[in-house]
Chain A
Amino acid sequence: MNKKQFLQSLDKELSGIPDEEKKDILFDYREHFSMGEADGKSEEEIAKALGNPNALAKRYKAEYYVETAEKNRTAGNLFRAVLATLGLGFFNLVFVLGPFIGLLAIIFALLAVSAATVITGIAVFTEATPLPFIFENVHLPAFVAENMAASAFLSIGLMSLGCLMLIAVGYVSMWVFRITLKYLKLNINIIARR
């Protein structure tokens, strides 16, 4: 591989990274080539010592996406960061994708439980009032069902509990977000391919 091929494939593989940043990255390698040549090395020698441009590009991309997710905390950015890190090596299917899916599953389960609690509260409410008949199969103990006040309090209690749990899930998700990014950074530095 000569200088042109190396720089071209690096440039191509860096797609997705803003132009300015890309220019900056390519500048470093161009400089490296011109100094190596001044040292009397051939373009091929220099390219070989630099390593695989695809692997380098993947690393820049992973770092870029993690950084973006840190600045701009959206789920989409987090997913892009996880995906980019997955590209760094086969091992990451186990070390990144596995734990990440696990965490997502936990968050999903917590969300489901909280939502179910809120819905149960609504169901109790509709059962206690004669108006809407959305939930027909709510069976409350007789002493609750026969007592309007008891059902009302049970309903309010369940709905509030569910809402509190939803808020808690929100905090847990933010925490997971932070931990994931931290882990990705560590991963990029340690596991990243040569």
Chain B
Amino acid sequence: MNIQFKKGVLELLVLSILKERDCYGYELVNEISKNISISEGTIYPLLRRLTKEGYFETYLKESKEGPPRKYYRLTKQGDSTRFDLELEWYDFINKVNNIVGGDKTDE
């Protein structure tokens, strides 16, 4: 997939995953790179920025194996941004689909 494309949706992907449950960074990276190949390191700058913008709260939680993990929790503000981005996303793919599958739908 096109690089610019991936970057644009990365934010939506992270927000959507965190809507379901709180995650730590490594989990988020895995969840995303399972489906889409990304340069894994870029998730962390994104998480940091979105945290600073108030979309997430972080907390440390002990784990059975190894050191405590930093978990991210979606805030209300984060969720409303997620909602907006999701609408934009559907709007966008609908428009693209109209053109890409044009001869099926128009005629």
Query: Which A residues are within 8 Å of any B CB, using their own CB?
Result: 24-25, 27-29, 31-32, 34-36, 38, 49-53, 56, 59-60, 63, 67, 189-190, 192, 194
Residues of A within 8 A of B3 (CB): 194
* Cα A28 to Cα B8 with chains together (Å): 22
A25–B24 CB distance below 8 A = no
B44–A28 CB distance below 8 A = yes
A190–B8 CB distance below 8 A = yes
B49–A56 CB distance below 8 A = no
Residues of A within 8 A of B41 (CB): 29, 49-53, 56
Question: A21: nearest residue on chain B (CB-CB)?
Answer: B48
A35–B33 CB distance below 8 A = no
Closest chain A CB from B11 CB (angstroms): 8
> Does B19 sit within 8 A of A, measured CB to CB?
no
A25-B39 in contact given A31-B25, A34-B67, A35-B66 (Cβ < 8 Å): no
Residues of B within 8 A of A29 (CB): 41, 44
A63-B45 in contact given A32-B29, A194-B39 (Cβ < 8 Å): yes
> Does B26 sit within 8 A of A, measured CB to CB?
yes
Closest chain A CB from B96 CB (angstroms): 18
* Cα A30 to Cα B24 with chains together (Å): 13
* Cα A67 to Cα B48 with chains together (Å): 12
B42–A59 CB distance below 8 A = yes
Instruction: Give 5 A-B pairs besides A36-B26, A59-B45 with Cβ atoms closer than 8 angstroms.
Output: A31-B25, A35-B69, A38-B66, A49-B33, A190-B8
A56-B42 in contact given A25-B48, A31-B26, A190-B7 (Cβ < 8 Å): yes
> Does B88 sit within 8 A of A, measured CB to CB?
no
B4–A51 CB distance below 8 A = no
Closest chain A CB from B92 CB (angstroms): 15
B26–A63 CB distance below 8 A = no
A25–B42 CB distance below 8 A = no
Please tell me which one of the listed residues A31, A38, A51 contacts residue B42 in the complex, with CB atoms under 8 A apart: A51
B69–A194 CB distance below 8 A = no
Closest chain A CB from B61 CB (angstroms): 12
Residues of B within 8 A of A31 (CB): 24-26, 67, 69-70
Question: B49: nearest residue on chain A (CB-CB)?
Answer: A63
B66–A28 CB distance below 8 A = no
**Most chain B Cβ neighbours within 10 Å, of A32, A63, A190:** A32
> Does B40 sit within 8 A of A, measured CB to CB?
yes
